[in-house]
Amino acid sequence: MELKPVAKRFVLHWGEMGSTWGVNRTVAQIHALLFITGRPMNADEITETLDVARSNVSMSLKELSNWNLIRSVPLMGDRRDHYETTTDVWELFRTVVRERKSREFDPTIEVLRDCLKSGDIASEDKAAQMRIKETLALMEALSAWASEMIRLEPATMMKVIKLGAKVQHLVHGKQVSVKAAE
């Protein structure tokens, strides 16, 4: 399948962005392709469209499954696996946040807790101990916050985002017009 100009640009850009994040180019491209195409595709179609090795596609599809970013859907009269991704950007965002949190945040929180528990912590100077504690506290707070936020309905999350920094008035105990959120 030959991509139209805009779709092609989208896929290529997404691929480049992927490498800036933790994801490799092919994985990001496949995801972008499924997203923009909006219908289930089989591995051969993907291979042909992106012009990469068949096995590369196979590996990347597995990776995307691990990220919960694609699911395979059976198609009547076709033995091959077909894959699709959600076309709901909010759903997508939620998944990415959840996965990155568990890959990048949670392990670090573990290490920091472990550092503080270890007998060796006492030999560090007070200020350094304090900084580790603060780092842990910040990461725990962000982690808990993210977990809560991704449980919200897309529409609700959008409103919260749109509300933006205005929430600060709430924590300061002031009255906030709900209208501001819309």
Partner DNA sequence: CACAAGTTTCAGTCTTGACTGAAACAACCG
Partner DNA sequence: CGGTTGTTTCAGTCAAGACTGAAACTTGTG
64 burial via Cβ count (<10 Å: 0-12, 13-18, 19+) = buried
Question: Within 13 A of 156's CA, how many CA atoms are on the CB side?
Answer: 7
The verdict on 80 binding DNA (CB under 7 A) reads yes
For 131, list phi and psi in degrees, rounded to 5.
-65, -40
Task: Report the C-alpha gap between 64 and 178 in whole angstroms.
Answer: 39
Residue 61 binding: pick among its own copies, DNA, none (C-beta 5-8 Å cut-off by kind)? DNA
3-class SS of residue 88 = coil
Give the residue with the Cβ less far from DNA, 57 or 94.
Answer: 57
Element (H, E) at 69: none
Binding to DNA (CB under 7 A) within 35-54 occurs at 42-44, 52-54
Task: Report the C-alpha gap between 156 and 175 in whole angstroms.
Answer: 20
Considering only 12, 36, 59, 109, the residue that binds DNA (CB under 7 A) is 59
- Judged by the rule CB under 8 A, the positions of this chain that interact with its own copies are 4-7, 9-10, 13, 17, 20-22, 35-38, 87, 89-90, 93, 103-104, 108, 111-112, 115, 118, 120-121, 123-124, 127-128, 131-132, 134-135, 137-138, 141-142, 144-145, 148-149, 151-152, 156, 158-165, 167-168, 170-173, 176, 178, 181
- Judged by the rule CB under 7 A, the positions of this chain that interact with DNA are 19, 24-27, 42-44, 52-56, 58-62, 78-81
